[in-house]
């Protein structure tokens, strides 16, 4: 074991991700938790593109590429076959925010409703990155993308809450700067006999426009400013995992990324209010001890 995780690696060192991309770190941690008896279903996304340029692959596990919209449907079929054969193989879906919040949501909702034992992992880099940084339902308020040149006018879609409303056993948010927390959450997700969802924060160097060496620094700042909340929703009950004693002003986070370089004072206030509102909603749910 190293840093509380097994030494086995299921992603080979060769891949085409940008320098500083957190996707290889995140997938290494997650597959260490799921182990060698795992099948990966990977929706079209940056992760799929950078790990599978034909005829090469970075994957040391059975892996299937699916279309952008149907990863949860393909995984459901695999799970039904695995179940029928009496095996306990772990099935992981890896999809981007576009493949989860937007075009993949219908298939995902069906998978959750049918109760398949699948852990669906969303890598949230807050835009459609491999096609050129177009806005998605996950893009945060006022962020620049190529299709929101003046900043996005809408708030981020609360996808984890939508997913939890399907009454599934486990939903969690995670961040690669808190690697053991991510590892433990995947282990826990796979311990349930039903669907689970892990929402992973995943900065993108060219899409967010920051220096590649700052990835983990930005990951930490996201949590310390409250811009990314770490929580679990287990059988409908919300538990916030980390509440910063005193939140660092969000401006410190925003100024690390050029996608926010155009913001006015009012825009920053809107973002602060958005963060506060999300925290209040989750705190109220936790305090109420009522099931989502
Ligand atoms: C039906 C369909 N529409 C559009 C595309 C083009 N396309 C492929 S991946 C992608 C964006 C993926 O975004 P996301 O899921 O966030 O993954 P990321 O690239 O950011 O990792 C798009 C628009 C496609 N493959 N299929
Ligand atoms: S474009 Fe972004 S998400 Fe894609 S490989 Fe590069 S850093 Fe990673
Ligand atoms: Mg994306």
Average pLDDT of span 179-207: 98
Q: Which residues pair with 264 in a beta bridge?
A: none
Q: How far apart are CA 147 and CA 165, in angstroms?
A: 30
Interval between CA 99 and ligand 1 midpoint (Å) = 7
Q: Tell whether ligand 2 has an atom less than 6 A from the beta carbon of residue 206.
A: yes
Q: pLDDT band for 181, please (50, 70, 90 cuts).
A: very high
Residue 129 alpha carbon to ligand 1 centre in Å: 8
pLDDT of 56-77, one tens digit each? Answer: 999 999 999 999 999 999 999 9
pLDDT at 174 over 90: yes
Query: 13 pLDDT band (50/70/90 cuts)?
Result: confident
Task: Judge whether 26 and 182 are in contact, CB under 8 Å.
Answer: yes
Most ligand 2 atoms within 8 A of CB, residue of 25, 47, 130 to mutate = 130
Q: With a cut of 90, say whether residue 166 has pLDDT above it.
A: yes
pLDDT at 248 over 90: yes
Domain spans, the chain = 23-288
pLDDT of residue 168: 98
The Cα-based distances of 132 to 20, 238, 242 in angstroms read: 18, 35, 33
Q: Which of 93, 96, 102, 205 to mutate to test the pocket of ligand 1 (most atoms within 8 A of CB)?
A: 96
Q: What architecture does CATH give domain 23-288?
A: 3-Layer(aba) Sandwich (3.40)
């Amino acid at each position: 074991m190293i840093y509380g995780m097994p030494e086995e690696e299921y992603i080979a060192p060769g891949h085409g991700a940008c320098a500083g991309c957190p996707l290889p770190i995140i997938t290494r941690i997650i597959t260490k938790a799921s182990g060698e008896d795992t099948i990966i279903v990977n929706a079209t996304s940056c992760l799929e593109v950078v790990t599978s340029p034909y005829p090469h692959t970075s994957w040391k596990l059975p892996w299937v590429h699916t279309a952008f919209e149907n990863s949860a449907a393909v995984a459901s079929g695999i799970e039904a076959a695995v179940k029928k054969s009496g095996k306990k193989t772990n099935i992981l879906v890896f999809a981007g925010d576009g493949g989860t919040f937007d075009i993949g949501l219908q298939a995902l909702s069906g998978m959750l409703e049918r109760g398949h034992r699948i852990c669906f992992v969303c890598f949230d880099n807050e835009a459609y990155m491999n096609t050129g940084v177009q806005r998605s339902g996950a893009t945060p308020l006022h962020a620049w993308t190529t299709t929101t040149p003046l900043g996005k006018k809408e708030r981020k879609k609360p996808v984890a809450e939508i997913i939890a409303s399907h009454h599934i056993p486990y939903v969690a948010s995670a961040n690669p700067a808190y690697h053991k927390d991510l590892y433990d959450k995947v282990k826990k997700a796979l311990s349930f006999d039903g669907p689970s969802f892990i929402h992973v924060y995943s900065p993108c160097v060219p899409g967010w426009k920051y220096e590649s060496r700052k990835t983990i620094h930005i990951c930490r700042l996201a949590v310390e400013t409250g811009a990314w909340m770490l929580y679990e929703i287990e059988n409908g009950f919300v538990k916030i995992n980390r509440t910063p004693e005193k939140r660092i002003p969000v401006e410190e986070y925003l100024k690390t990324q050029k996608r926010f370089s155009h913001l006015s004072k009012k825009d920053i206030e809107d973002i602060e209010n958005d963060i506060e509102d999300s925290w209040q909603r989750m705190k109220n749910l936790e305090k109420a001890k009522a099931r989502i």
